[in-house]
Amino acid sequence: DTAVSQTPKYLVTQMGNDKSIKCEQNLGHDTMYWYKQDSKKFLKIMFSYNNKELIINETVPNRFSPKSPDKAHLNLHINSLELGDSAVYFCASSQAGQGAGRNEQYFGPGTRLTVT
C-alpha cells in the first residue's frame, strides 16, 4: 500500500548508457514531479506534470526526458549518462488546488543513481 513508489532503488551504470526510472503513485493525485538531490543535499525540481501535461520544465539537459502515460505514473529516461548525473532522484506527487492538504508533496523513496 505504498503511496509513491519508485524503481529501481539503486542504479549503477557506466557513462554513456541510457537508463529509465519509474514512478507510480496511488494517492489519486493529479500532479507529479521529478527532483534531483546531489551530494550537497540541495533538492532541485526538474519536471512536473499535471494530468499528463508538462507544467514545469526547469533548465535540465535534454538528455533527460520525462514521460507521463497517465496521471498515476511519471517516468524519467536519461540518455548518454554522465558522471555529473550521479545523484538521488526523487519522485513526488501532490493534489493541486486551494485548501487544506492541497499542494502538499509526498515523496517516493528515491533512486540512487551512480554513474561510473
Partner 1 sequence: RKEVEQDPGPFNVPEGATVAFNCTYSNSASQSFFWYRQDCRKEPKLLMSVYSSGNEDGRFTAQLNRASQYISLLIRDSKLSDSATYLCVVMPNAGNNRKLIWGLGTSLAVNP
| Residues at the site binding partner 1, with contacts judged by CB under 8 A | 31, 41-43, 45, 48, 50, 55-56, 90, 94, 96, 98, 100-110
Nearer to partner 1, 35 or 75 (CB): 35
- Between CA 102 and CA 66 the distance in angstroms is 24
How far does Cα 63 stand from its chain's mean position? 14
Residue 81: CB atoms within 10 Å: 21
Q: Which one-letter amino acid corresponds to residue 62?
A: N
Q: How far is the CB of 104 from partner 1 (least distance, A)?
A: 5
Nearer to partner 1, 66 or 108 (CB): 108
Nearer to partner 1, 41 or 83 (CB): 41
**Of 109, 93, 115, which is closest to residue 9 (Cα–Cα)?**
109
Q: How far is the CB of 16 from partner 1 (least distance, A)?
A: 27
Q: How far is the CB of 56 from partner 1 (least distance, A)?
A: 5
